[in-house]
Structure 1
Amino acid sequence: MTTPAVSNTQPPQKLSFGRKLAFGIGDLGPALVASIQGFFLNAFLLDIAGIRPAAAGVIFLIVKIWDSVNDPLVGRLTDRTNTRWGRRRPWLLFGAIPFGLAWFMQWLVPDWSQAGLFWYYLIVALLLDTGFTAVNVPYTALTPELTQDYDERTSLNSFRFSFSILGGLAALVVHSILIEAFPTVTQGYAISAAVMGGVIVLSNFITFAFTEESHFKEAPEQDDPGFIEGVKIALKNRPFLYVVTIYLMSWLCIQFVQANMLLYVRYWVGGEDRFIQLAFALQVSAFVFLIMWSKLSQKWGKQKVYYVGMSFWIVVEIVIFFVQPGQFNLVLGLAVLAGVGVSVGYLIPWSMLPDVIELDELETGQRREGIYYGFFVFLQKLGISLGLALSNFALEAAGYINAENLTNLPEQPTAVLTALRIFVSIVPAIILLLSFPIVRRYPITREKHAEILAALAARNERHL
């Protein structure tokens, strides 16, 4: 029987630039998924594949039911994996190709009936979700195994999300160029999907080859609490519950905006031919402010950075609601300002999570990064799916009209236009406001984390 790993007694080590770089490259696959899928999938299913909004919403919800099983399950399996390559890295190697293949299949448009298309996109979505989980859960769980240093983890995540944002930027540009380069939109999507699928596979191979799980060693055999008991223990960790709630709220906001922005521009503001500029501006801004927040968090702390960044974002969201048709340049400027808060939504929750794992180790004597990161990835995809499903159900109820082609767009009912405006502005602003009291209650400061590490080191010394 294999057992979870435990931390060694060495003091926290600073990571080399090369190791941070190799780790960051591993986020290119999830980055292009988040970027292209986030901005284009909903509009693709509705106006290119011709799926009704309610049917698309059902697909997202069914996938989420499967998610509730596979994310924590894969997380626990990675905790129990024991190979000469480590616990997490083998998953990057063997999960990369299925992940890339499912991504390619998602963007094809079979010449089938509505029922056939529904089942096709449902099955492919389930396969893609499984591939994503098999790679992304172990990848994110590498973070606490690379360093125990409180500020170094913020730095490591800044590398990761720099690649995430820059990779998302590059994916948007390449995706846009490829769509324009082919005679039909469906051909452009298929070629783009093939290229991005190759990037998914290659980036995971690089991270596998140039990272090393050297911070932890295998522990002596001990009793396994089992999956259900492990989940119960994780959910009893109060700081963890705070962090996952903060993360879910942040990603719900990001997804409500991202999933509906193209439709908002297409049917309300106008200027769809410049949409890539808007997406690009948001990503560039998020990247610049990510670097700034990474530095400021070392002086201010993670909670204060969250308050400042998200307060700014709330103001931007409220202004978006009052944008009128034809004011695309105003939306473009607001996208730049929104990057202030979006970068915080990426950085801060992920920087908080590794600290929670040390607290769990102190209280239970075991390390279960896989379970914790499994839940975290689950919540990321829960935010994506809930945002898509709820907004799509609202669009269905409002009477959304599918476009037969993108050159002759239908005139959407007033209720649809109002729903789109609300989902990219008022709803995210309210969710962000509700997250503030939770951030205030998060207890692990830099000083508290130092106490946890000292207690762990003392206990490990006693057991030598």
Structure 2
Amino acid sequence: MTDTSKTPPRLSLSQKLAYGAGDLGPAITANILVFFLLPFFTNVAGLAAGLAGSILALSKIWDAINDPIVGVLTDRTRSRWGRRRPWILLGAIPFGLAFFAQWFVPFPGDQNALFWYYLVVAVLFNSFYTAVNLPYTALTPELTDNYDERTSLSNYRFAFSIGGSLASGVLHPFILEQFPGNPQLGYLVSGGLWTVLAVLPLFWCFLGTKERFQAQAQELPFKDQLQIAARNRPYLFVIGIYLCSWLAVQLTATIIPYYITYWMRLSGEWVAYTILAVQGTAFVMLFVWNAVSVRIGKQAVYLLGMGVWIVAQLGLLTLQPGQVVLMLVLAVLAGVGVATAYLIPWSMIPDVIEWDELETGQRREGVFYAFMVLLQKVGLAAGLFLVGQALELTGFISSSTANADLVQPERALTTLRIFIGPVPTVVLALGMVLAWFYPITRAKHQEILDQLAARKK
């Protein structure tokens, strides 16, 4: 039992670094998948855009079952290493192998066989991704119960996350450029490199962290736990905020390679430059927004970031071929907002968990974090599915030769601009509305901690 009436000890730099490293692998793999998996399917494997967009969406049917179950199982896990960290240790290598398997083209030209191969691999990858990433995300409240320390942990986490996204997003296209005559080999080489770099930091996280705040095992039926999570009003706001933010991220990231190649008529290296502008800015702004949030609060930071991001998305809608400098300026503006989408929703979740503990007398980190991870995957699936189906309907031309000189139909080009401008703008505006009404302020959070401390005396 933790005495929250005393000032909790600060975490060491080594602990924060080890914790942050745990999100490097998931960030690398998720970033490569969202930017390059759909183009790999349509431009290298030769899948029709509709089939390609359906694969990730169909694999989420399993995730809808898998994520909450893993969340509950981690709540009930007991070992000398804690209840979250063993999952990270045991799931690391299968997670890496499943990621690598996605970059093979085992049945060239056979649409049906390729569809089923990639669907099975996607199901396996998502299962192992959940097995390592969901317990990792649930570690935050078990490392510290301090309001600002949790924001600091989120800052370290997303420094690694954005750093991994930045490195993979920039270097992956350059690696592919080294294999102009054999894109399949390029994807395999790059996939192998990122597999190693994704797996190793998970072991660092396991060895460098320690769970200090552990509740008793939950005995409520799974259905009842989900009902309690659904009745948590602040949690509903947070998942709405996160879903809007992440859906905007996924839609934009999914469309960027197509937008740059077919609308802006630029080579693959410009995809790397654009990702560098977005993720590099987000990486720097993560530290800026973290400092600002200490002064003005999480909600205000989120609203400011989203406002800047909306300006960038609408600017991309009006952009014309040849306006390369303006494109990079808008990418920098987008990065300012993307940083808040990474930082703020995740730093809100531990506060929501304590709200639930005050209301119910129990802690269910696994259940709450399960839905957050699930929504992250739903955002990815929705982005890939919507873009794939829209491109299919508007006559997008797929190719197995990665031919960037293809001239796409005008309707397909219009679809690319809609998905990079108006659609993300609408979902970001909805997220701002939800953030405006989010009920847990810094003062309210302190009230919750004080009441929990009084109850435990």
What is the TM-score when the length of structure 2 is the normalising length? 0.96
Structure 2 SS opposite 1:161: helix
CA 1:370 to 1:285, structure 2 compared with 1: closer, same or farther past 3 Å?
Answer: same
CA distance in 1, matches of 2:399, 2:261: 11
For the 8 Å contact 1:42–1:260, the answer to whether it is kept is: no
2:292 pairs, out of 271, 275, 296, with 296
Matched, 1:343 2:329: no
For residues 70 and 217 of structure 1, what CA distance do their matches in structure 2 show?
23
Q: Deviations over 1:383-404 (max 9, x none)?
A: 1111111121111111111134
Code of the aligned partner of 2:151: T
Is 2:240 the counterpart of 1:267? no
What is aligned with 2:423?
427
Aligned counterparts, 1:328-367, within 5 A:
328-367=324-363
Give unmatched runs, 5+ long, in structure 2. none
Question: Which residue of structure 2 lines up, in the alignment, with residue 382 of structure 1?
Answer: 378
Residue in 2 that maps onto 1:3? none
Aligned counterpart, 2:200 = 202
Name structure 1 gaps, 5 residues minimum: 1-5
1:214-269, CA deviations, whole angstroms, 9 ceiling, x for partnerless residues? 2x2453x7x71111110000010000000000000000100110001000111100
Distance 1:29 1:286, change over 3 A: same
Establish whether residue 138 from structure 1 lines up as the match of residue 135 from structure 2. yes
Q: Check conservation: 1:165, 1:287, Cα contact below 8 A.
A: yes
Structure 1 residue 313: deviation in Å?
Answer: 0.8
Whole-angstrom distance in 2 between the partners of 1:389 and 1:366 = 38
Identity in percent: 51
- Paired residues in the alignment total 453
Q: How far 1:58 sits from its partner (Å)? A: 1.9
Do the aligned partners of 1:45 and 1:51 also contact (CA within 8 Å) in 2? yes
The 1-side partners of 2:192 and 2:410 are apart by 38
Contact kept? 1:270, 1:328, Cα under 8 Å: no
Does residue 242 (structure 1) correspond to residue 258 (structure 2)? The answer is no
The equivalent residue for 1:231 is 226
Residue-by-residue CA offset, 1:64-116 (whole Å, 9 max, x unaligned):
11111111110110000000000000001000011000000011111341100
Cα offsets for 1:6-39 (capped at 9, x unmatched): 6555543321111000001111111101221121
Structure 1 match to 2:84:
88
CA drift at 1:184:
1.6
Specify the alignment match of 1:190 in structure 2: 188
Paired residue type of 1:399: G
User: Which amino acid in structure 1 is aligned with residue 286 of structure 2?
Assistant: L
- Deviation, 1:200, is 2.1
Q: 1:146 to 1:325 in 2, by over 3 A?
A: same
Aligned to 2:306: 310
Q: Deviations over 1:393-419 (max 9, x none)?
A: 111111111134234632111110000
String of CA shifts for 1:165-212, please: whole Å, max 9, x gaps. Answer: 111222234423432334521111111111211122211111101111
Q: Distance in 2 between matches of 1:217 and 1:271?
A: 52
Determine helix, strand or coil for the equivalent of 2:45.
coil
Structure 2: distance between partners of 1:128 and 1:81: 22
Q: In the alignment, which residue of structure 1 is the partner of 2:249?
A: 254
Instruction: Kindly provide the CA deviation profile for residues 410-456 of structure 1, in whole angstroms up to 9, marking residues without a partner as x.
Output: 21111100000110111101111122221111110000000101111
Question: Match for 2:294: what amino acid?
Answer: Q
| Mean Cα deviation higher: 57-66 or 224-233 | 57-66
CA RMSD of aligned residues (A): 1.4
CA 1:184–1:444 in 2, change beyond 3 Å: closer, same or farther? same
The one-letter code sitting in structure 2 at the alignment partner of 1:210 is G
1:399 is matched with 395
Partner of 2:165: 168
**What letter corresponds to residue 106 of structure 2 in structure 1?**
P
Aligned pair in 2 of structure 1 residues 408, 173: CA closer, same or farther (>3 Å)? closer
Task: Give the direction of change, closer, same or farther, for the CA distance of 1:235–1:218 in structure 2 (3 Å limit).
Answer: closer
| Partners of 2:441 and 2:242 in 1: CA distance | 17
2:58 paired residue among 55, 58, 62: 62
Moved more, 269-278 or 354-363: 269-278
Over 6 Å off, 4+ runs: none
Indicate the SS of the match to 2:46. Answer: coil
Residue 180 of structure 1 aligns with which residue? 177
* AA matched with 2:122: A
CA distance in 2, matches of 1:142, 1:326: 46
State the Cα distance separating 1:59 from its structure 2 match: 1.1
Q: Which digits, 9 at most, give the CA deviation of each residue in 1:33-69, with x for residues without a partner?
A: 1221121111111111111111122212211111111
TM (norm. structure 1) is 0.95
Partner of 1:48, secondary structure, is helix
The answer to whether the aligner puts 1:155 opposite 2:163 as a matched pair is no
Query: Aligned partner of 1:415: which letter?
Result: R
SS at match of 1:366: coil
